[in-house]
Amino acid sequence: MQNGKEKIKITFPDGSVREYPRGVLPETIAKDISPRLAKEAIAAKFNGRVIELNRPLTEDGEIRFLTFEDPEGREVFWHSSAHLMAQAIKRLFPGAKLAIGPPIEGGFYYDIELDRPLSTEDFEKIEAEMARIVEENYPVVRQVLSREKALELFKKLHEDYKIELINDFPDEQEITAYQQGEFIDLCRGPHVPSTGRLGKHFKLLNVAGAYWRGDEHNKMLTRIYGTNYPKKKMLEEHLHRLEEAKKRDHRKLGRELDLYSIQESIGNGLILWHPRGARVRRVMEQFWIEEHYRHNYELVYTPHVAKLDLWERSGHTSFYRENMFDTMVMDEVAYQLKPMNCPFHITIYKTHLRSYRDLPIRLAELGTVYRYERSGVLHGLMRVRGFTQDDAHIFCTPEQLTDEIVKVLDLVIYVLSTFGFKEYEVYLSTRPEKYVGTLENWEAATNALRNALEVKGLDYEIDPGEGVFYGPKIDIKIKDVLGRSWQCSTVQVDFNLPERFDMEYIGEDGRPHRPIMIHRALMGSLERFFGILIEHYAGAFPLWLAPVQVVLLPIADRHHEFARQVYQRFREAGIRVELDDRNEKVGYKIREAEVKKVPYMVVIGDREVADGKLAVRHKGEGQLGNLDPEELLQRLLQEIANKS
RNA sequence: GCCCACGUAGCUCAGUCGGUAGAGCACAUCCUUGGUAAGGAUGAGGUCACCGGUUCAAAUCCGGUCGUGGGCUCCA
């Protein structure tokens, strides 16, 4: 009896090959390689499929062991953790019905129907039960079930949601369940080989309502979020990161640094920019305006309301109605608060007969729009009802399209990186099922976007079918200091509006042609981008953005006069300077300036007045020694000019 | 919009069993003129989100409204 039947060949990532008896378990192989690997392995990747460590191997193949370091390993670990939590909950709440429990970024959740609301006090009990299940170390066993068997099983368990899932499975799908102790769950898997592998460094984080299948017409389930790590230190780091994020929360910093507020008396989702926030915004706007003129855009202003007819023509009343404020009627004419700027820019285009020689025409506007967002989705500056888009519309010929998109991408990256965002995730969204325009146009536009990305050498992913109905688009997400990504920039090609508004230009051939339109935003919304900036910098803005760049701290009254001279000189030079001449000790003033995250502090006492110098302290770098006022001023102006 | 939680002074938060409100910070006045993250004293500040109900009595219990927070497919 030779190999072929009894032995299988296993190939390892380094190319080496070993023979094992048929039916060998991955965990046996792992042990064979090293005890450490066996201990750290969570699952295995065998011939490209992730499988559990206790599934027998019956054919030759390539194997790679997945640990917590691998994203796929982490998913398995968290998925199993979700099962662990579900088992604990089923023990404590026998009537609970399980819906779905997937791994997510940084942990897992499980949607469960419970007969009473769950409070965070229940967490301790559930966690204790989870620890017990880990202790009991049940093997996690995979079972393949026939549809009938599966239905029978979950009917017996009164798991209505699982039954619904099974019934929706396509015929050819293999139905599997995983059992650990008394607990069995419909699941695709894979999972860790036993509950003991999940360790004790887990934590339930929060509860929230979530609709079954995300549909608000369905029943609301209780979603419990949790996380789990193989090492205590990793859990602590995760919790620390959550704390950090909380400290950076723009809503908290916005209040503490007196940047903006949202008042009940004004309306939710409507922002009051306080003087300090307004200073930052003004810098953002000025930078944006200068760059747009430099990049051959023309800036325009358009009104906040327009006749409803305009929005009917643009189609917004049919496809965007639920996001629009109610229409108002004046003198029997219906007006609409604007949710978008595009129809205005188109109307400006149409005030002349355009020649191909005029194109491209680039119209930009910091346009304030109002959109009705459901109250539950509003969130600080991130999701609001009134906001200012850094909007522009480029009208061009088909031949110019690629070139224009490349220019937009250049500008996007220049602007984002100046604000300190150097990492991007780029997505190209292609034609959705419902679309307008011809297939040739879609093809050409998608190619133009793709070519532009290639020219720029940007890595991107394709989001199939995620384009807007009127054209394909590129979305750019930025990554902040905490590694979170935020979608800000978007570049969208539009075939629809030029058609609806019957836009044209006269071509070289003397005949009218339809221009192509590009919608684009770099920051997206000033409000949201400001919120992201606050969190990215934790409120400690770089000098060029800081609402207060320098604060002067005279020690005693007799130093006030010199301080005032310096104040005036800096103010005239365009520095955002403040003079703290309150009757307080210098330590107190420094503390306050530190708390308010002012980059430069200048202490002025007897010595400084005597030799006409300034004792400079930098927020990050500490004391910089004594500088001549002009010297400091030049240093500041230089640093501001560098935008660093 | 929906589910859950929450709403007390400008901010952060106490407030027991229903008996008419408290701290720290901030603010004002005074003392202090002090050299790199909080000097001291005194004082002013609240229709306890709003409306209604139960009660001799409501910040507290009940209902509603408004607002805030977490979340509402990353499909077993």
Assign A120 a pLDDT band (cuts: 50, 70, 90): low
Residue A4 has pLDDT above 60, yes or no: no
Report the pLDDT averaged over residues A194-221. Answer: 84
**Closest alpha carbon to C1' of B38, residue:** A588
- The CA distance from A389 to A298, in Å, is 16
Q: What residue type is assigned to position A403 of the chain?
A: D
Please check whether strand B approaches the CB of A264 to within 7 Å: yes
Assign A620 a pLDDT band (cuts: 50, 70, 90): confident
> Is there a shared CATH topology between the A7-66 domain and the A261-536 domain?
no
Please check whether strand B approaches the CB of A265 to within 7 Å: no
Residue A2 has pLDDT above 50, yes or no: no
Q: Which helix (H) or strand (E) holds A367?
A: strand A361-370
Class of domain A261-536: alpha beta
Please check whether strand B approaches the CB of A268 to within 7 Å: yes
C1'-nearest nucleotide to the CA of A105: B74
- Among candidate residues A87, A180, A336, A389, the one labeled active-site is A389
| Partners of A383 in beta bridges | A379
Tokens representing A451?
């070519």
Query: pLDDT tens digits for A469-526?
Result: 888 999 999 988 877 888 899 999 998 899 999 999 999 999 999 999 999 999 999 9
Q: Would you call A345 helix, strand, or coil by DSSP?
A: helix
Please check whether strand B approaches the CB of A296 to within 7 Å: no
In A272-385, the DSSP E strands lie at 272-273, 298-299, 305-307, 328-330, 333-337, 354-355, 361-370
Side by side, the strands of the sheet bearing A183-186 are A141-145, A175-180, A183-186
| Partners of A461 in beta bridges | A427
Chain B: bases < 7 Å from a protein Cβ: 1-5, 11-12, 30-39, 66-76
C1'-nearest nucleotide to the CA of A175: B76
Residue A39 has pLDDT above 80, yes or no: yes
Is residue A546 within 8 Å of residue A576, measured between CB atoms? yes
Measured between its terminal Cα atoms, the distance across chain A in Å is 74
- The CA distance from A603 to A622, in Å, is 12
Q: Strand B and chain A: which residues 124-163 have CB closer than 7 Å?
A: 162
Please check whether strand B approaches the CB of A621 to within 7 Å: no
CATH topology of domain A76-245: Threonyl-tRNA Synthetase; Chain A, domain 2 (3.30.980)
Tokens representing A525?
């919304």
> Which DSSP string corresponds to A286-307?
HHHHHHHHHTT-EE----SEEE
What pTM does this model have?
A: 0.88
Class of domain A7-66: alpha beta
- CA A212, A217, A222, A224 dihedral sign is positive
Question: CB count, 10 Å around CB of A155?
Answer: 13
Residue A5 has pLDDT above 70, yes or no: no
Report the pLDDT averaged over residues A127-138. Answer: 91
Task: Let me know if A519 is a catalytic residue.
Answer: yes
Q: Residue A639: which residues within 8 A CB-CB, separation 6 or more?
A: A543, A544
Is residue A151 within 8 Å of residue A166, measured between CB atoms? yes
Please check whether strand B approaches the CB of A105 to within 7 Å: yes
How much is the mean pLDDT over chain A?
90
Is residue A615 within 8 Å of residue A626, measured between CB atoms? yes
Is residue A86 within 8 Å of residue A101, measured between CB atoms? yes
What b-and-e string marks burial along A63-79, b requiring 16 or more CB atoms within 10 Å of the CB? bebbbbebeebbbbbbb
pLDDT over 90, % of chain A: 52
Q: Strand B and chain A: which residues 589-608 have CB closer than 7 Å?
A: 590-591, 594-595, 601, 603, 605-608
- The CA distance from A196 to A128, in Å, is 14
Report the complex ipTM.
0.89
| Partners of A220 in beta bridges | A211
Tokens representing A239?
């919790």
> Which of A22-26, A82-86, A128-132, A344-348 comes out lowest in average pLDDT?
A22-26
Specify the CATH architecture of the domain A550-642. Answer: 3-Layer(aba) Sandwich (3.40)
- Among candidate residues A83, A431, A450, A519, the one labeled active-site is A519
| Partners of A10 in beta bridges | A18, A61
Please check whether strand B approaches the CB of A322 to within 7 Å: no
Task: Let me know if A393 is a catalytic residue.
Answer: yes
H-state helical runs in A137-231: 147-156, 160-168
**3-state class percentages of chain A: helix first, strand second, coil last, to nearest 5:** 40, 30, 35
Closest to A181 in 3D by CA, of A127, A143, A141: A141
pLDDT over 70, % of chain A: 99
Query: pLDDT tens digits for A44-83?
Result: 888 888 888 888 888 888 888 888 888 888 999 999 999 9
**Closest alpha carbon to C1' of B10, residue:** A255
Residue A580 has pLDDT above 70, yes or no: yes
Q: What residue type is assigned to position A35 of the chain?
A: P
Domain boundaries, chain A: 7-66, 76-245, 261-536, 550-642
Query: pLDDT tens digits for A138-153?
Result: 999 998 888 888 888 8
Q: Residue A277: which residues within 8 A CB-CB, separation 6 or more?
A: A254, A258, A259, A260, A530, A547
Query: pLDDT tens digits for A404-453?
Result: 999 999 999 999 999 999 989 999 998 888 888 888 888 888 999 999 99
Distance, C-alpha A593 to centroid of its chain:
31
Closest to A429 in 3D by CA, of A459, A476, A473, A493: A473
Q: What residue type is assigned to position A54 of the chain?
A: N
Please check whether strand B approaches the CB of A169 to within 7 Å: yes
Task: Let me know if A473 is a catalytic residue.
Answer: yes
Q: How far is the CA of A502 from the C1' of B62 (A)?
A: 61
- Among candidate residues A223, A316, A345, A393, the one labeled active-site is A393
Length of chain A: 644
The Cα-based distances of A618 to A169, A257, A351, A563, A637 in angstroms read: 63, 18, 54, 18, 15
Closest to A359 in 3D by CA, of A392, A393, A394, A396: A396
Query: pLDDT tens digits for A335-374?
Result: 999 999 999 999 999 999 999 999 999 999 999 999 988 8
Q: How far is the CA of A624 from the C1' of B10 (A)?
A: 35
Assign A3 a pLDDT band (cuts: 50, 70, 90): very low
| Partners of A179 in beta bridges | A141, A184
| Partners of A363 in beta bridges | A298, A393
C1'-nearest nucleotide to the CA of A588: B38
| Partners of A527 in beta bridges | none
- The CA distance from A517 to A513, in Å, is 13
